[in-house]
Amino acid sequence: MQRITITLDDELMDELDAMIAEHGYQNRSEAIRDFARAGMQQATQDKGKAGECVAALVYVYDHAARDLSRRLVDNYHHHHELALATLHVHLDNDHCMEVTALRGSGPEVQHFADHVIAERGVKYGRVVMMPTATRKDDVKKEPHSHK
């Protein structure tokens, strides 16, 4: 681990300390490491260069929208290698929420999520991606069993 020195203006330091307290970090170093990882991961995702990842796709939709259920199922069937599991929740008479666990390359996961969220009848949607490999270890692991 390396030790560095940074300079922050007072206002930013106050905001950082407030976030550290709000999130329950034990110290500034721990928080800054997490914030740096999150920022780097987001920048990588924004550039479309994310490697292997897991993701949660969350969206709310109007279940009565014409052919939406069929279109969603078609999307999932065309990308069956990405979807691990889906949770379906009835919110009210007109709306449902689905949360899907995804796994694959960042660009493929983002492409799939964008298509689902863009479907007519989907009201809100967001995908949250987390890397499954570090930069030094950006290779696919062989499956293993837990015994």
pLDDT in tens, 20-47: 888 888 888 888 888 887 777 777 665 5
Whether 143 is in a domain gets the answer no
For residue 15, the enclosing domain spans 10-46
| CATH code, domain carrying 114 | 3.30.70.1150
78 and 109: one domain? Answer: yes
Indicate if 65 and 20 belong to the same structural domain. no
Residues 117 and 63 in one domain: yes
pLDDT at 135 over 70: no
Could you give the number of structural domains in the chain?
Answer: 2
Looking at the structure, tell me whether residues 64 and 107 fall in a common domain: yes
Is residue 35 included in any domain, yes or no? Answer: yes
- The tens digit of pLDDT for each residue in 116-126 reads 999 989 999 99
Specify the pLDDT at position 45: 62
Q: Are 129 and 45 in contact (CB under 8 A)?
A: yes
Is the same domain home to 33 and 79? no
- Answer yes or no: are the C-beta atoms of 55 and 105 closer than 8 Å: no
Alpha-carbon gap, residue 45 to 50, rounded angstroms: 5
Predicted pLDDT at 88: 94
Q: Answer yes or no: do 61 and 117 share one domain.
A: yes
DSSP-assigned letter for residue 35: H
The three-class DSSP label of residue 66 is coil
State how far the Cα of 51 lies from the Cα of 106, in Å rounded to an integer: 5
**Which residues in 109-134 are b (16+ Cβ under 10 Å) and which e?**
bbebbeebbebeebeebebebebbee
More confident residue, 73 or 48: 73
Q: Is residue 26 domain-shared with residue 58, that is, in the same domain? A: no
* CATH value at residue 39: 1.10.1220
| pTM of the complete model | 0.65
- Same domain for 110 and 39, yes or no, is no
Is 86 a member of any domain? yes
What pLDDT shows up at residue 25?
A: 85
